[in-house]
Amino acid sequence: MQPNLYLGVMTGTSLDGIDIALCRIDDTHINLLAYDEYPYDVTLKQQIQLLLQHPHTTLKTVGRLDAAVGEMIGDALQRFMQEKNIDASHIVAAGVHGQTLWHTPQGAYPFSWQIGDANRIARQTGLRIVSDVRRADMAAGGQGAPLAPLLHRFIFKDMKKPIGVLNLGGIANLTILEENDVTGFDTGPANTLIDAWIARHKHLPYDKNGDWARGGNVHQTLLQAMLSDAYFSQKPPKSTGRERFNLAWVQKHLADIGDIAPQDVQRTLTELTARSIADAAASYDPHRLIVCGGGAHNAFLLERIRKLTGITVEVSSFVDAMEAMLMAYLAFLRICRIPALTPHITGASEPAVLGALYEP
């Protein structure tokens, strides 16, 4: 038995797949041993998208989705272990994020809600499952997000500082690593609006290489209206999600302006992502920006980020695996009962041991 092997599973905001990573982790290093992505069940994806667009539903619907997403994740984990010839007895634990339904980090009763029944996943796979990783931080007064800076600090601890690590998932989050400090926060939308708009108008899951956006023109009035959203000027700690940045948000701004060609809207949404990231990075002046996540494959978006920041932008060698690796790392911290050092990131009053443990 190799007691330092962990699995990590991420199903992101974009609902574009199930990412799974096998990692070897100890107190000083994390090594990615295997990675793969599995398709999201099409029917489940449609049901969740409908729920997110119209968040008035029944407890029965949410309960059934919780069970179904758990079984889907369990199936993907079983397939991954079979394909990679991994014996469940060799795995210490698997960190499973689950599918976020709603993230409300502020207000009288802030909460973050992920579905994907970890009891079912543990029983299906024979693995110890670490899940529900956000709410202990929220109980300590934090926002429960972003958590990626914890892994970024661990992976890039030996690099010359200051550097930025930018994750372009559905939402963009930026980590600033300095010699003796770490800051991390969500800058705003990354792929969520870009993907949703092209899906509506071109029936495509994403804008490959940003080609559709590249052929459009920035509508400055729309861009400035969107940038006036109070979230962008809010100081960290802060986190957000599709609860705020969604097609209804875009349509609200469009209704105030009038007809704009769909391709120009796509170009403007891409500029919104790049501009909000550049504005956030400007406050810290990192000498390089390391990019990961699905948006790292959008060549036009990276061009705009390079242009607007004026700093070196490079794609991480862990480009697609980073968030799944994060979940493996969080499982490691939970099993070892190591408090996550989140106060400077999430605003928590003190570090907390994150995640609940589910036995097979």
Span 8-62, pLDDT tens digits = 999 977 788 999 999 999 999 999 999 999 999 999 999 988 888 777 888 999 9
pLDDT over 90 (residue 313): yes
Domain 5-144+321-358: give its CATH architecture: 2-Layer Sandwich (3.30)
Share of the chain above pLDDT 70, in %: 99
The mean pLDDT value of the chain amounts to 95
Amino acid found at 292: C
Residue 217 has pLDDT above 60, yes or no: yes
Asked if residue 235 lies in contact with residue 268, where contact means CB atoms within 8 angstroms, the answer is no
pLDDT of residue 276: 98
Given this structure, which CATH class describes domain 148-315? alpha beta
Same fold, 5-144+321-358 and 148-315: yes
Burial class (CB in 10 A: 0-12, 13-18, 19+), 34: middle
**Is the predicted pLDDT of residue 3 greater than 80, yes or no?**
no
| Domain ranges within the chain, ordered by starting residue | 5-144+321-358, 148-315
Residues 173 and 186 sit within 8 Å (Cβ to Cβ): yes
Dig out the tokens for 238 from the structure: 């802060």
Task: Report how far Cα 173 is from the mean position of its chain's Cα atoms.
Answer: 8
State the average pLDDT over residues 277-299: 95
Query: Regarding predicted confidence, which is higher, 49 or 358?
Result: 358
Higher per-residue confidence, 180 vs 98: 98
Helix (H) or strand (E) holding 164: strand 163-168
Alpha-carbon distance of 30 to 348, in angstroms, equals: 25
Question: What is the reported pLDDT for 173?
Answer: 95
Q: Is residue 258 very low, low, confident or very high in pLDDT (cuts 50, 70, 90)?
A: confident
User: Is 80 exceeded by the pLDDT of residue 2?
Assistant: no
Counting every residue, how long is the chain? 360
Question: What digits encode the pLDDT tens for the residues 122-159?
Answer: 999 999 999 999 999 999 999 999 999 999 999 999 88
- Cα–Cα dist 43/36, whole Å: 21
Q: Pairing between strand 356-358 and 129-131?
A: antiparallel
